[in-house]
Amino acid sequence: MSVLICPVCGGMLENTGKSYICGKHHSFDIARSGYVNLLLSKHAGKAVHGDNKLMVQARRDFLDKGYYAPLCEAVCDEALKYTKNGSVVLDAGCGEGYYTSAVRAAFDRSDIAVKMYGVDISKVAVEYAAKREKSVKFAAASVFHLPVASTSCDLLITMFAPYCGEEYARVLKSGGIMIMAIPSENHLWELKQAIYDTPYKNEVKPYELDGFEHIGAQRVSFIMELRDSTDIRSLFSMTPYYYKTGKTEQERLEALPELTTQADFEVLTYRKK
Ligand SMILES: C[S@@+](CC[C@H](N)C(=O)[O-])C[C@H]1O[C@@H](n2cnc3c(N)ncnc32)[C@H](O)[C@@H]1O
Ligand SMILES: [Zn+2]
């Protein structure tokens, strides 16, 4: 039995190989790539949210070049501290699965047998993720209506995806662990300097989150040498600035042949109260 639940009635879903079926016979086909669409239109919101194909491809190209490898390693190391054989792990807002598959590989290297799931609202993203990583079950769904049984997960990872504390606390077991990463104050500072007339440093918010005890913070800072304008554009399209940038800034971005900039993150760990 998986920890996935029926988005219609909330019953447990059973994987029959070609589909997931609940006790009330609601059935959800597994796509050829391997993911299951558990997104009900009423949960998708008015517009189709989540990353589109271009954004997913840009993220994959950028991440697969290893630019964020130090962050990925820090998240893998943190995840290993809190898992044992039989643990259930969920990547909420998993995107195209870069961190999901890296964490999965870290468990494999350490001989820790886990059951791992990834959820993202973007069907394109979970399709990419499912093609990349066959030993993780991926579902298209919103983190605001996770199709995941209550108190079923030992570890939840969420990387730069929307935060839904109520849902994350609901699916975690008592004492379960949540790991997330946030940009810290100097993140992409040189990129911002190159583009904006008045760049601002990131404001780091207080760590406290309702329903969770904050148990760890690790700063992960490193220098990235972006070797061509494609990589610079890919990185920029992964940031929230992408949506807020005017024509002049866009032109400055396009004109950058290469760029050395800081990556500055914090990996935060929480325990469900
Ligand atoms: C910045 S990306 C991060 C993806 C991945 N975790 C990573 O770090 O590579 C944010 C992701 O959140 C997803 N997303 C946005 N709204 C969502 C929602 N309501 N539920 C689930 N995923 C959502 C997007 O489709 C996108 O894949
Ligand atoms: Zn059902």
Task: Verify whether ligand 1 is closer than 6 Å to residue 51 (CB atom).
Answer: yes
Task: Verify whether ligand 1 is closer than 6 Å to residue 120 (CB atom).
Answer: yes
Task: Verify whether ligand 1 is closer than 6 Å to residue 67 (CB atom).
Answer: no
Q: What is the pLDDT of residue 237?
A: 87
Q: What is the pLDDT of residue 110?
A: 98
Superfamily per CATH, domain 35-272? Vaccinia Virus protein VP39 (3.40.50.150)
Return the domain boundaries, the chain: 35-272
Contact call for residues 122 and 51 (beta carbons, < 8 A)? yes
Q: What is the pLDDT of residue 48?
A: 58
Q: What is the pLDDT of residue 49?
A: 66
Contact call for residues 256 and 64 (beta carbons, < 8 A)? no
DSSP state of 204: P
Q: What is the pLDDT of residue 101?
A: 98
pTM of the model: 0.96
Q: How far is the CA of 24 from the centre of ligand 1 (A)?
A: 30
User: Quick one: which ligand is closest to 238's CA?
Assistant: 1
Q: What is the pLDDT of residue 254?
A: 87
The residue nearest atom 10 of ligand 1, judged by CA position, is: 161
Low-confidence stretches of the chain (pLDDT < 70) are: 43-49
76 three-class SS = helix
Q: What is the pLDDT of residue 98?
A: 98
Contact call for residues 116 and 136 (beta carbons, < 8 A)? yes
Q: What is the pLDDT of residue 219?
A: 98
- What does the CA dihedral 211, 213, 214, 215 come to, rounded to 10 degrees? -150
User: Quick one: which ligand is closest to 123's CA?
Assistant: 1
Q: What is the pLDDT of residue 80?
A: 98
Contact call for residues 81 and 179 (beta carbons, < 8 A)? no
User: Quick one: which ligand is closest to 163's CA?
Assistant: 1
Q: What is the pLDDT of residue 184?
A: 96
Q: What is the pLDDT of residue 44?
A: 67
Q: How far is the CA of 119 from the centre of ligand 2 (A)?
A: 18
